[in-house]
Structure 1
């Protein structure tokens, strides 16, 4: 019942000096955070742009779920997410401490 996958990405931006601390990422770049969701067919089906680069992925996802016309996950379905997101209803994250990319 997997609908697809989602993740956040940073896009470099120019902002006023006073706003730079809010847009500074954990890698010190000045960027905006964008949540993207794709289907199993690799079609982009939802985009939530405009967050400060300092915003955590889980915070952006939470806001995307609760906003009007936001991201909806039907009961019994889920999206694959990375470890930066919570493993909760509608979202399946990898188990922490599990290595998935083993050398062959």
Structure 2
């Protein structure tokens, strides 16, 4: 893929990139494990990662407890002293764990997307 020039990007002209949360396993004191236990019953921290269209990290917010939802971490990223900034009229692609809102485009629920149309070879991943 050649960044902005890739033919698939013509449909995403105002898209800045994508974001998602991920879990990183950690060791914490026994008294803190409840807060760090995620939905998979692992002790982890929730990290928000934001990438530009050319797949470079532009914003990372580490340190949230594993029990924190992705949307809660994103809300915090938008109001911090070093906030994630989404310029007016632009947006990030997000997964279904986030809500469609100004600056964030999630897939429509109940729609099956055809991944083979987006892969480099045209075959299913």
Q: TM-score, normalised by structure 2?
A: 0.80
Structure 1 residues not aligned, in runs of 5+: none
- Structure richer in strand, relative to its length: 1
- Number of residue equivalences: 104
- Paired residue for 1:86? 99
Q: What's the C-alpha RMSD, in Å, of the aligned pairs?
A: 1.3
What are the equivalent positions in structure 2 for 1:1-104 lying under 5 Å apart? 1-101=14-114
Paired with 1:74 and 1:28, the residues of 2 have a C-alpha distance of 37
Higher Cα Rg, which structure: 2
Paired with 2:109 and 2:15, the residues of 1 have a C-alpha distance of 20
- Structure richer in helix, relative to its length: 2
Partner SS state of residue 4, structure 1: strand
Structure 2 residues not aligned, in runs of 5+: 1-13, 117-123
